[in-house]
């Protein structure tokens, strides 16, 4: 009789992770199913008086194509490295007191996205851009 109880308990334990995974899939992902959030990008700027400032860029990728989205998820370290390099070089050349150009940053980051992924199809979405 104890063997039956053991088998029932084992079956119950085996079913728990599958149920937990199903609940995890049901949760709404921020930005939708096709959205990939990129961690905040930071670059150092020069402020008036020789002080240092910070340029902060929040962005993400919207990729409707499932295969390209999977490749982008695998390429996130390369994407992030390309984005950080772009933001840092742009921030270093930003004149003191000048606001950042959202259009230029968007174009430059989209160009990096297409270069790293090897083709078009991923759309870069910019969030907050702040220079302080």
pLDDT tens for each residue of 113-127: 999 999 999 999 999
Q: Is 112 domain-assigned?
A: yes
Domain count, the chain: 1
Q: Is 10 domain-assigned?
A: no
**What's the whole-number mean pLDDT along residues 79-94?**
95
Q: Is 23 domain-assigned?
A: no
Q: Is 2 domain-assigned?
A: no
20-58 tens-digit pLDDT: 545 545 444 566 888 999 999 999 998 888 889 999 999
Please name the residue ranges forming H helices in 36-101.
66-74, 76-92
Checking if the pLDDT of 83 tops 90, the result is yes
Q: Which residue has the higher pLDDT, 99 or 3?
A: 99
pLDDT value at residue 28: 47
Closest to 45 measured CA to CA, from 83, 98, 106, 92: 92
Question: What is the residue range of 49's domain?
Answer: 35-131
What mean pLDDT value characterizes the chain?
Answer: 85
Can you give the pTM of this predicted structure? Answer: 0.75
Q: Is 17 domain-assigned?
A: no
For the chain, the distance separating the N- and C-terminal CA atoms, rounded to the nearest angstrom, is 71
Q: Is 89 domain-assigned?
A: yes
Q: Is 64 domain-assigned?
A: yes
Closest to 36 measured CA to CA, from 66, 14, 81: 66
CATH number, domain of 88, equals 3.30.479
């Amino acid at each position: 009789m104890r063997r039956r109880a053991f088998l029932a308990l084992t079956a119950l334990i085996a079913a728990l992770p599958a149920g937990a995974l199903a609940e995890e899939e049901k949760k709404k992902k921020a930005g939708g199913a096709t959205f990939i959030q990129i961690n905040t990008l930071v670059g150092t700027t020069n402020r008036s008086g020789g002080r240092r400032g910070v340029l902060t860029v929040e962005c993400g990728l919207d990729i409707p194509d499932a295969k390209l989205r999977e490749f982008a998820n695998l390429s996130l370290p390369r994407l992030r490295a390309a984005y950080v390099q772009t933001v840092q070089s742009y921030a270093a050349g930003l004149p003191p007191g000048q606001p950042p150009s959202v259009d230029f940053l968007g174009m430059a980051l989209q160009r990096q996205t297409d270069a790293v992924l090897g083709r078009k199809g991923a759309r870069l979405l910019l969030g907050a851009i702040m220079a302080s």
